[in-house]
Structure 1
Amino acid sequence: MKENSLRVQMFSRFILEGLGGTLDEDRIRSEMLTKLLVYMIIHRDKEMTVQEICESLWPDEKSDNPAGALKNLMYRLRALIKKTWGDHAFILTGRGSYAWNPEYTLEVDAEDFDRLCQRAKAAPTEKAAAEDYGSAMALYKGMFMPKLAGEHWVASLSTYYHSQYLEAAKNRLGILEDFGEYGEMAECCREVLKLDTLDEDIHTAFVKGLMLQGKPKLAMEQYKHAVDLLYESLGIAPSEELRRVYEDLLKQTHDQEMDIAAIERELREDVESGAFLCEYGVFKKTYDLEIRRAGRLGISVYIGLITVIPRVEIPVDSPAYLGMISDGMDSLEGVLLGSLRSGDVISRYSGSQFIVLLPTCQYETAKMVMERIEMNYYNTKKKSKTRLSYSLQEMDALPRKKKGAGKNGSRRS
């Protein structure tokens, strides 16, 4: 480090160190002092007026004397700096303004991270880009100033740096895949998922990295974990890319030749009685199979869509809404598994909907099945905060002109 230089960490937590002293959030023991010090560091390249600083530190508060409040806060900060570093004066006072003392240079992890990301994008070779992305990612230890995440000037930077981190990770993963570095690819994904558990592209790359290493069992476990996590947290089905990797994984898993008895034993390993609960990609394949079978045998097949709806008006994105829907969907899953026949197929279609495939079923029977599900749901949840809405549609068995329209219906309760 240069003379009169200090090192600043802002990812995950705040630390200012160098010149024989260290300050972190535990030593500062005041959110307002931390906020002021971080603000002065971020804006150290210009002189900040008292008004600008006050509006950033107290955006929603009306004070009769904001300049006095800032002066008092600055006095406390300088006293803390003096206690830690002696006579080093990091902050200068001007006419109605404050500024960082240019005699003291700062090496800030967030700024170094951003520089490395920009350099990687302009790198002359993929190898150089991968190295710069790796160095940048090593600096990103967590979200930018998480304890100050509620401040608008922190939130915007936090969003920017996190998006840069994910972009760096995905660019590096693409290069590692091109170079055949599948082990490093999987390890990169593992580290990223510690900081962002819900990025589907990273989950996809993780499954692919494990699969390309010849570790199909681990890849399958990661795929199932990713699908369950994305359903439970975001209510979304796997993307086309994740499903494509899954299909490649299935092909790899069954490349080795086996005798028919061994294959039959493998097929029966995970067979369970009752309705079949699966992820949406498998549901689509099953749907395709049932269309062909219905056309060949001349039987009718119905699809039911069941939606969980709050009984009261509530903002859609609110925690209360999401909690109600999640609780209702968990209950509905149990009811579906207990109410449907072996051979019926169930899948989560969205965060608030299940889709059900009812083979060899007439409209009247399908309607009775939906009503039974309703009844069982309300019996299970006596004081439910949610209700069900369902609709039924007969599958078109063959891609030809229909002789008669199939029945369909819907109901809200």
Structure 2
Amino acid sequence: MEGENCLKVQMLGDFVMTYQGKIIQTGRNQTTKVLQLLQLLLYAGSQGLTRLQLIERLYNADLDGDRSNNLRVTVFHLRKLLEKTGLPKEQYISTENGRYRFVCSFPIEVDVVHFEMLLEQAEQTENPEQRLELLKEACYYYKGYFLPALMGEEWVVIAGAHFQNLYFAALEEVCQRMLERREYTELLELSSSAAALYPFDEWQIYQIECLLALERPKEAMALYERTTEMYFDELDMPPSERMIECFRHMSRQIQLNTGDFYEIQEMLKEHPRLNGAYFCTYPSFMDIYRIIVRTMERSGQSVYLLLCTILDERQKRMEDSESLKKLSESLAEAIQETLRRGDAFTRYNLSQYLVLLTGTRREDCHIATSRIDTCFRKKISSRRVHVNYRVASIANIPGDYGENFPDSDQVAEWEEKDGFKNLDGASDSPVSSDRLREENL
């Protein structure tokens, strides 16, 4: 809706009112009952809300006092607030026929109303091109969570989930259509906005697809690494199967410039040449695992999968915290510093690491865990922290020589069935692995 005298109201991503090009100042605290009443009435539009509906939304948790009187007082203060905003002098709050409405002599444009209107128009049109343009316009219009300052209010949570679901459905359709049409530049803009708003809903996959199509593979790889790191740090979990498949697709897509044999050989070398175990990303660890499994079929090499888990004094997994992040970093350093260059490891989640011990006899696994534990002990002084080590021969892991790499559910199932055997790699130190019964592997 155009025109300088239109009151424009933003509720997605923030609460902002503008009139004649100027922001209407309503105070810094957006959680007051007065401002909530204003937001409720603006959101309800011409239909308005009954006294009971307003009381339930505003005072449902507050059972003390006369809530009807509280509403009257709140309406009084809202009118006083509106008088100070610079808006034309009008009554604004109508209470006719038992309903409360926000009324004024000039037009009002509320973003959530316009957002739904665009989606309704998209549903009604039979023209695919027009539908796509309307859906794109709606996606651009969406700016984030509905009234984020009031996310603790039930009515805001319900409305916010509704708008978010509408946005996700529209954006998914737009992304698929734009991929088919190879409109990568604009799709990158849309998916980047979505990933910024909802970083854990995998919109980065579309970003990566676009970057690859636009021949920007380094940016695609950097984005993947940042995303997986975020999953580990914030959610304490490895990337999803969909994200891993995106990584594999990305790896297949990356094409390097033609080079001679010696240039390629030099590029493949590790720079700088580091001592200790090789740390790699989770998808790379999966590939290494599967290659080793194939090699075992003809070489007979002995390989063990080691699971290292940080536990508290009650022998329980620790909750995510800054303390756990530091412990996790220390454990990674201990693994890298004490194991051989031929061993590989990856972070499975914030409190667990997976290690491939290659060419190792079963009795040597105790030596490996003892070295890790001794090094970890030097870095951490707390007596309330332990590391549990569990190990399984790849040849004994369920499946065809373990070729199906374990997901999180399989790891948990093996632990329950004792597919992993406990190892005692500790000394009598304040920080040690669990002092568990030694078992034959």
* TM-score computed with the length of structure 2 as normaliser: 0.81
The aligned residue for residue 403 of structure 1 is none
Matched position secondary structure for 2:45 = coil
Instruction: Give the counterpart of 2:154 among 152, 155, 178.
Output: 152
Change (3 A) 1:158 1:399: closer
The answer to whether structure 1 residue 197 and structure 2 residue 203 are counterparts is no
| Most deviating of 305-314 and 171-180 | 305-314
The answer to whether structure 1 residue 328 and structure 2 residue 321 are counterparts is no
Instruction: State how far apart, in whole Å, the 1-side matches of 2:122 and 2:70 are.
Output: 44
The aligned residue for residue 211 of structure 2 is 210
Instruction: State how far apart, in whole Å, the 2-side matches of 1:95 and 1:137 are.
Output: 38
The answer to whether structure 1 residue 120 and structure 2 residue 143 are counterparts is no
Q: Is the 8 A contact 2:145 2:160 kept in 1?
A: yes
Instruction: State how far apart, in whole Å, the 1-side matches of 2:169 and 2:233 are.
Output: 25
The aligned residue for residue 248 of structure 1 is 249
Identity of counterpart residues, as a percentage?
24
Instruction: State how far apart, in whole Å, the 2-side matches of 1:19 and 1:87 are.
Output: 15
The aligned residue for residue 44 of structure 2 is 43
Matched position secondary structure for 1:43 = helix
| Most deviating of 140-149 and 264-273 | 264-273
Q: Return the offset for 1:287.
A: 0.8
The aligned residue for residue 360 of structure 1 is 359
| Most deviating of 60-69 and 143-152 | 60-69
Q: Return the offset for 1:331.
A: 2.7
Q: Return the offset for 1:384.
A: 6.0
Report the AA paired with residue 298 of structure 2. Answer: R
Q: Is the 8 A contact 2:236 2:320 kept in 1?
A: no
Instruction: State how far apart, in whole Å, the 1-side matches of 2:316 and 2:294 are.
Output: 43
The aligned residue for residue 106 of structure 1 is 108
| 1:182-207 Cα distance to aligned partner (Å, 9 max, x none) | 2222222222223222332x111111
Change (3 A) 1:55 1:168: same
The aligned residue for residue 181 of structure 2 is 179
Instruction: Give the counterpart of 2:422 among 404, 410, 413.
Output: 410
Q: Return the offset for 1:359.
A: 0.3
Report the AA paired with residue 332 of structure 1. Answer: L
The aligned residue for residue 411 of structure 2 is none
Instruction: State how far apart, in whole Å, the 2-side matches of 1:371 and 1:256 are.
Output: 46
Change (3 A) 1:216 1:106: same
| Cα RMSD after superposing both structures | 3.1
| Most deviating of 350-359 and 117-126 | 117-126
Q: Return the offset for 1:385.
A: 5.2
The answer to whether structure 1 residue 279 and structure 2 residue 281 are counterparts is yes
Change (3 A) 1:17 1:239: same
| 1:127-162 Cα distance to aligned partner (Å, 9 max, x none) | 323312221122222321111222121122223323
| Most deviating of 3-12 and 76-85 | 3-12
Q: Is the 8 A contact 2:30 2:149 kept in 1?
A: no
Matched position secondary structure for 1:85 = coil
Show structure 1 runs of 5+ residues with no match: 401-406
Q: Return the offset for 1:261.
A: 0.6
Change (3 A) 1:21 1:348: closer
| 1:306-326 Cα distance to aligned partner (Å, 9 max, x none) | 22233359998xxx6454543
Change (3 A) 1:385 1:134: farther
Q: Is the 8 A contact 2:139 2:190 kept in 1?
A: no
Show structure 2 runs of 5+ residues with no match: 402-418, 424-432, 435-441
| Most deviating of 234-243 and 92-101 | 92-101
Report the AA paired with residue 368 of structure 2. Answer: V
Matched position secondary structure for 1:197 = coil
Report the AA paired with residue 410 of structure 1. Answer: N
The aligned residue for residue 7 of structure 1 is 8
The aligned residue for residue 304 of structure 1 is 306
Q: Is the 8 A contact 1:363 1:408 kept in 2?
A: no
Q: Return the offset for 1:35.
A: 0.9
Instruction: State how far apart, in whole Å, the 1-side matches of 2:290 and 2:31 are.
Output: 62
The aligned residue for residue 404 of structure 1 is none
Report the AA paired with residue 230 of structure 2. Answer: L
| Most deviating of 91-100 and 208-217 | 91-100
Instruction: State how far apart, in whole Å, the 2-side matches of 1:267 and 1:175 are.
Output: 38
Q: 1:86-101 counterparts in 2 under 5 A?
A: 86-94=88-96, 98-101=100-103
Q: Is the 8 A contact 1:144 1:157 kept in 2?
A: yes
Instruction: Give the counterpart of 2:295 among 293, 309, 315.
Output: 293
The answer to whether structure 1 residue 62 and structure 2 residue 63 are counterparts is yes
Change (3 A) 1:375 1:313: closer
Q: Return the offset for 1:121.
A: 4.9
Instruction: State how far apart, in whole Å, the 2-side matches of 1:315 and 1:122 are.
Output: 52
Change (3 A) 1:146 1:277: same
Report the AA paired with residue 344 of structure 2. Answer: V
Q: 1:14-29 counterparts in 2 under 5 A?
A: 14-18=15-19, 23-26=24-27
Matched position secondary structure for 1:172 = helix
Matched position secondary structure for 1:392 = strand
Report the AA paired with residue 357 of structure 1. Answer: L
| Most deviating of 108-117 and 120-129 | 120-129
